[in-house]
């Protein structure tokens, strides 16, 4: 069997490439990545890397964000069909129609959106900084459109006391996690702390001890004296959690919380991407310029 990791190491040097991977990617991808993180961490890493080529192992909107922040670099996504169903739930023209109905409102978009949507927004946010962006960046806005995740908007609204004009978008993976799943996991592991992602439904986030982005979970668990955790997000994160905290115990809220799009990239596809310099993320110059404003505004608060 081919040892793809050796091939990837060789090609990375030849092409001056860096490999970025999201916390939900397959273990074999996380293990060869130069950086593993959440949407925010990956955006920051993409904006400051010295490498000429960024191999982005995540879903398409994440690779687009890397391209927007580093337009002069080559950004490769080893599997161009790795999309995000939530990001596909709103288009730029749908957002423009909503903005026409609320001309006074500022627009905040979750990073899980297409580049064309980011280009029409005032601010971008991730699950790690949404509250901060609303409190610091949008404190003077009379009203705020927050798209596309209705559940993230609901969570940030409870945290900040602000009401949002929302969109009925959601993540199918997190929305499938139920209150019953939490109750079952708590019964099985009564001493464990419950951590969930803010893309979960309100009845789920209300039952959690902590509501955190994926990187927030990694950080929290590392510094916690607790040694048992019920994890309410996509199960791919358990690989990193177990690797970083070998003495701690992790229980997924639901074994079925699997994002199929985050499992589409593997070592072979990364090696082929580097060999053939495919698939390159390309965006119109105008979209890059407009979308960069909303992302850079977000990065000021992080
Ligand atoms: P994070 O930014 O918390 O990693 O979340 C990204 C995502 O797609 C969650 O489903
Ligand atoms: Fe999109 Fe949900 Fe998959 Fe994250 S887990 S990439 S929000 S579908």
24 C-alpha vs ligand 2 centroid, how far in Å? 9
pLDDT computed for residue 52 by the predictor: 97
Q: What is the mean pLDDT of residues 267-287?
A: 98
> Looking at the predicted structure, is the pLDDT value of residue 9 above 80?
yes
Residues 6+ apart with CB under 8 A from 125: 108, 109, 110, 111, 133, 134, 298
pLDDT computed for residue 3 by the predictor: 86
pLDDT computed for residue 1 by the predictor: 72
CATH superfamily for domain 87-172+288-300: NadA-like (3.40.50.10800)
81 C-alpha vs ligand 2 centroid, how far in Å? 13
> Looking at the predicted structure, is the pLDDT value of residue 123 above 90?
yes
> Looking at the predicted structure, is the pLDDT value of residue 302 above 80?
no
Q: Which two tokens stand for residue 272?
A: 């082929």
Q: What is the pTM of this model?
A: 0.97
pLDDT computed for residue 7 by the predictor: 97
pLDDT computed for residue 80 by the predictor: 98
Ligand nearest to the CA of 111: 1
pLDDT computed for residue 142 by the predictor: 97
pLDDT computed for residue 64 by the predictor: 97
234 C-alpha vs ligand 2 centroid, how far in Å? 8
Residue 283 pLDDT grade (very low, low, confident, very high; cuts 50, 70, 90):
very high
pLDDT computed for residue 242 by the predictor: 98
The string of pLDDT tens digits covering residues 203-248 is: 999 999 999 999 999 999 999 999 999 999 999 999 999 999 999 9
What distances in angstroms separate CA 173 from CA 149, 196, 218, 256, 284, one per listed residue?
13, 12, 19, 8, 31
Fold classification of 4-83+262-282 is Rossmann fold (3.40.50)
Q: CA end-to-end span of the chain, whole Å?
A: 44
The string of pLDDT tens digits covering residues 42-101 is: 989 999 999 999 999 999 999 999 999 999 999 999 999 999 999 999 999 999 999 999
Query: 23 near 240, Cβ under 8 Å?
Result: yes
208 C-alpha vs ligand 1 centroid, how far in Å? 17
pLDDT computed for residue 101 by the predictor: 98
The string of pLDDT tens digits covering residues 165-200 is: 999 999 999 999 999 999 999 999 999 999 999 999
Q: Which atom of ligand 2 is nearest to the CA of 234?
A: 5
The string of pLDDT tens digits covering residues 12-29 is: 999 999 999 999 999 999
Q: Which atom of ligand 1 is nearest to the CA of 214?
A: 3
The string of pLDDT tens digits covering residues 255-264 is: 999 999 999 9
**Domain at 177-256: CATH architecture:** 3-Layer(aba) Sandwich (3.40)
Domain with CATH 3.40.50.10800 in the chain: 4-83+262-282, 87-172+288-300, 177-256
Core vs surface per residue 63-101: b (16+ CB within 10 A) or e = bbbbbbbbeebbbbbbbeebbbbbbebbebeebeebbee
> Looking at the predicted structure, is the pLDDT value of residue 2 above 90?
no
């Amino acid at each position: 069997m081919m040892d793809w990791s050796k091939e990837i190491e060789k090609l990375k040097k030849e092409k001056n490439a860096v490999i970025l991977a999201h916390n939900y990617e397959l273990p074999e991808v996380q293990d060869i990545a130069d950086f593993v993180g959440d949407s925010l961490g990956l955006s920051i890493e993409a904006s400051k890397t010295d490498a000429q080529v960024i191999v982005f192992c995540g879903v398409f909107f994440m690779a687009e964000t890397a391209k927007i922040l580093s337009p002069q670099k080559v950004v490769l996504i080893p599997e161009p069909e790795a999309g995000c169903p939530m990001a596909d739930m709103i288009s730029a023209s749908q957002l423009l129609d909503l903005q026409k109905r609320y001309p006074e409102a500022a627009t905040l978009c979750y990073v899980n959106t297409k580049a064309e949507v980011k280009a029409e927004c005032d601010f971008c946010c991730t699950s790690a900084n949404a509250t901060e962006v609303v409190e610091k960046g949008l404190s003077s806005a009379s009203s705020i459109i927050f798209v596309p995740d209705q559940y993230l908007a609901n969570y940030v609204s409870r945290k900040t006391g602000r009401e949002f004009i929302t969109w009925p978008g959601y993540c199918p993976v997190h929305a499938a996690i139920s209150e019953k799943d939490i109750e079952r996991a708590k019964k099985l592991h009564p001493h464990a702390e419950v951590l969930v992602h803010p893309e979960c439904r309100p009845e789920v986030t209300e039952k959690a001890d902590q509501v955190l982005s994926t990187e927030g979970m990694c950080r929290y668990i590392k510094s916690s004296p607790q040694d048992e955790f019920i994890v309410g997000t996509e199960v791919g994160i358990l690989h990193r959690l177990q690797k970083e905290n070998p003495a701690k115990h992790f229980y997924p809220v639901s074994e079925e919380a699997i994002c199929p799009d985050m499992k589409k990239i593997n070592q072979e596809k990364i090696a082929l991407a580097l060999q053939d310099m495919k698939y390159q993320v390309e965006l119109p110059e105008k979209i890059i310029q407009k979308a960069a404003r909303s992302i850079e505004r977000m990065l000021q608060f992080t």
